[in-house]
Structure 1
């Protein structure tokens, strides 16, 4: 794993992967949305409202996956001091927060005609909202750590990493909320080895999830490359100032 800690080696791999992930992801999302909007039938109960799941479900998945990435990267940063781990965690925060917000927005749009209200303090909705605020808190801590590092002070980076690990407790709460509490939100439709979703909806949904995941990966790689470039520029400026 430490073989990829060299920024030059990482960048040589990240550059082609970024383009490959982004192009493939966009094509898969376009295919999924075409199949979901024009080919899949309307749901027996929800009608055409069901089509929002091709954005809502991938957004929910990536909102949780984004924080899982932060937690794993934070663990690697704290335990193994991997040089790129903190950068990977920071790079995952903004796209994770975006997809979390997209999940909340599309869920509210779906809830209005289905439940008759934009929002209820349901266990699944509330825990997802908490995740969005956790993202905001993490990004604030990560920004503080970057400023402290530029000023030659340490410590805030470890605080952000610990926050990333502690916040991961909310991910299984989101996942199991519909089981633990009486919920308006429908229970899990897909579990290991079985699915309650009709294949006409399932195939476009699966393609959409993979496509959005590839786009997420491309954005994370782009942000990691940008953060590495910023670090190099700051280091060069400090050397010039000290000369």
Structure 2
């Protein structure tokens, strides 16, 4: 992992990966959504309203996964002083917030015909909403720290990123711990559980892979942008000091 600590070495890998993940992600999303929305059969209970699953499930997965990434990057920043860890965490936050918001919106659209309500204050929905607010708080906190100048950003937001990870298992197990409108997990890697028919599972898999690759591409773009901005700011500071 430390071999990527050098920004120049990281950029050598990030530049080609950004393009490849973007192209492959968009291709997989197109296949998954066209297959799922137009060719996969309707759910035997929920009918065509279940087709929003092809967007909702990847959004939930990436909304939770992004904060897990923030927590890991924050730990690396605090313990190992990895120079790119803070950059990665700050790049993950807005993307994760976007997917968390998309998860909430698609869940509400799904809930109206399925549950008869746009919103219910149950465990899964409430904990996902808390995650979205955690993202907003992290973005505001990291931005405030960064404005204090070089060498001051990162520590408080890193601690917040680790503490906020407590909400991830709450989201995951909320359908088990509390009586909830939200259905239980259809797929569980740990338990080897899969209740989704292959005719719906395959387009869902393409959608998951596609959105994940798109997510990776956007995060890489944001990391590259922040590194370029930091380099430019450092150059301008040196130039200003030289002029003095």
Same fold (TM over 0.5): yes
For 1:51, the equivalent position in structure 2 comes to 51
For 2:196, the equivalent position in structure 1 comes to 197
For 1:157, the equivalent position in structure 2 comes to 154
- Provide the C-alpha distance between the structure 2 equivalents of 1:226 and 1:141, rounded to a whole number of angstroms: 20
For 2:21, the equivalent position in structure 1 comes to 21
Please give the secondary structure, in 2, of the residue aligned with 1:176.
helix
Return 5+ residue gaps in structure 1 as ranges: none
Alignment of 1:139-178 (within 5 A): 139-150=139-150, 154=152, 156-178=153-175
For 2:130, the equivalent position in structure 1 comes to 130
- Provide the C-alpha distance between the structure 2 equivalents of 1:203 and 1:110, rounded to a whole number of angstroms: 21
For 1:106, the equivalent position in structure 2 comes to 106
Deviates more, 1:21-30 or 1:32-41: 32-41
Return 5+ residue gaps in structure 2 as ranges: none
- Provide the C-alpha distance between the structure 2 equivalents of 1:167 and 1:56, rounded to a whole number of angstroms: 22
Q: Does 1:229 find its partner at 2:228?
A: yes
- Provide the C-alpha distance between the structure 1 equivalents of 2:105 and 2:32, rounded to a whole number of angstroms: 20
How far has the Cα of 1:194 moved from its partner? 2.3
- Provide the C-alpha distance between the structure 2 equivalents of 1:217 and 1:227, rounded to a whole number of angstroms: 15
For 2:215, the equivalent position in structure 1 comes to 216
- Provide the C-alpha distance between the structure 2 equivalents of 1:184 and 1:217, rounded to a whole number of angstroms: 32
- Provide the C-alpha distance between the structure 1 equivalents of 2:91 and 2:141, rounded to a whole number of angstroms: 13
For 1:94, the equivalent position in structure 2 comes to 94
- Provide the C-alpha distance between the structure 2 equivalents of 1:3 and 1:41, rounded to a whole number of angstroms: 47
Moved over 3 A (4+): none
For 1:240, the equivalent position in structure 2 comes to 239
Q: Does 1:186 find its partner at 2:183?
A: yes
For 1:78, the equivalent position in structure 2 comes to 78
RMSD over equivalenced CA pairs, Å:
0.9
